Structure 1
């Protein structure tokens, strides 16, 4: 599966509640690992920074062993959309 395809699948699964915050973080890390070879060093750094913000929020949830509150879910949704848009815009066509 191409990084762009995986990104779409993860975004849809998250939006529809089919994956947990932990699965979301793991999936987005996999997208980042696959996509970074196609990104400029600056873009890869920015993508890592965006992914890290998602990871920090997820780490809090895992540490507290709970699902996100409505506000946290909204923040995760926003962060995921930003990451998704950034990667989508920067990946070469067909990747």
Structure 2
């Protein structure tokens, strides 16, 4: 009887602390509210500077219409193809 009482006395505060620590802090904004929040600012994909929504859209269209497409060295392009082919073969023939 004394053992059960002593175990209960020692474990009761631990159980009570776990319940209190499971709750989020009161200053946290619930996730449901954060999901409905409209984000009006963005960051530049080029240099990471903050942009307004209009500036972000303008930059996005400029990048999409860019005339300069990156040129890849043909040797590197062939190497990438061979690596992709090797990856495909490894999925089909795992012991290869």
TM-score for both structures, normalised by structure 1: 0.23
Which structure ranks higher in relative contact order (CA pairs < 8 Å, sequence separation ≥ 6)?
1
Structure with bigger helix share is: 1
Structure with bigger strand share is: 2
TM-score for both structures, normalised by structure 2: 0.22
